[in-house]
Chains A and B, each alone.
Chain A
Amino acid sequence: GQSLEQPSEVTAVEGAIVQINCTYQTSGFYGLSWYQQHDGGAPTFLSYNGLDGLEETGRFSSFLSRSDSYGYLLLQELQMKDSASYFCAVRVTGRRALTFGSGTRLQVQP
């Protein structure tokens, strides 16, 4: 099976930088995705890392290290609207759906 670990809660202030870590244990790992979910809303796709390294999309970046079974989501210039839950999810070979972590609740304070 697969297991993913991410912190349950992170707090940061507006304008700051925050990093949300995700470690995983899977067989046949293919890639790591990140999703954002506001309270009462749907998960929305943020990024996908299929290869080691950093992927940047505006204020958000995501990193993957396959050798360490580890990835992170980096949010820069935090805004109040970034307060949400963030989920990492793994794509594994032979399994035709994403497996999600338990989510990290990010609270951005003024």
Chain B
Amino acid sequence: DTAVSQTPKYLVTQMGNDKSIKCEQNLGHDTMYWYKQDSKKFLKIMFSYNNKELIINETVPNRFSPKSPDKAHLNLHINSLELGDSAVYFCASSERPGTGEAFFGQGTRLTVV
């Protein structure tokens, strides 16, 4: 069983569209994250939830909206997609916020054309 799974793995869409990425973890962790990895491989935190509560909201355009229906799921909705949103988005989870060991999903490669 995959510990952290996110769908879809690939997403190609046109500018201006709205899209969602889903993430689920079966590790029983309390904390989930969204990270963005750009073309230079830099991994940057976007959001963090602990027990469904938003605890980190980095300087991210408000076109990005996370939603955690329960502590095992964290989805990411993106409105009005722009070319610069093209990146790999990783979902991750950990037992506690900010702990040194986090488990990552396989990533969603988003390409905006």
Taking Cβ atoms with an 8 Å cutoff, the residues of A that contact B are: 30-33, 37, 41-45, 48, 50, 85, 87, 89, 91-92, 95-100, 102-103
Q: Is the CB of B101 within 8 A of A97?
A: no
Question: A98 is contacted by which of B42, B50, B55, B100 (Cβ under 8 Å)?
Answer: B100
Q: Is the CB of A98 within 8 A of B102?
A: yes
Bound complex: CA of A97 vs CA of B58, how far in Å? 11
B99 on the interface (CB 8 Å rule)?
yes
Q: Could you give 9 example pairs across A and B, Cβ below 8 Å? A: A32-B100, A33-B100, A42-B106, A45-B102, A48-B101, A91-B99, A95-B56, A100-B42, A100-B43
Q: How many residues of B contact A (CB 8 A)?
A: 25
Question: B56 is contacted by which of A44, A96, A100 (Cβ under 8 Å)?
Answer: A96
Q: Is the CB of B42 within 8 A of A91?
A: no
The residues of B that contact A31 with a CB separation of less than 8 Å are 100
Q: Is the CB of A102 within 8 A of B107?
A: no
The residues of A that contact B48 with a CB separation of less than 8 Å are 96-97
The residues of B that contact A37 with a CB separation of less than 8 Å are 41
Q: Is the CB of A91 within 8 A of B90?
A: no
Q: Is the CB of A97 within 8 A of B105?
A: no
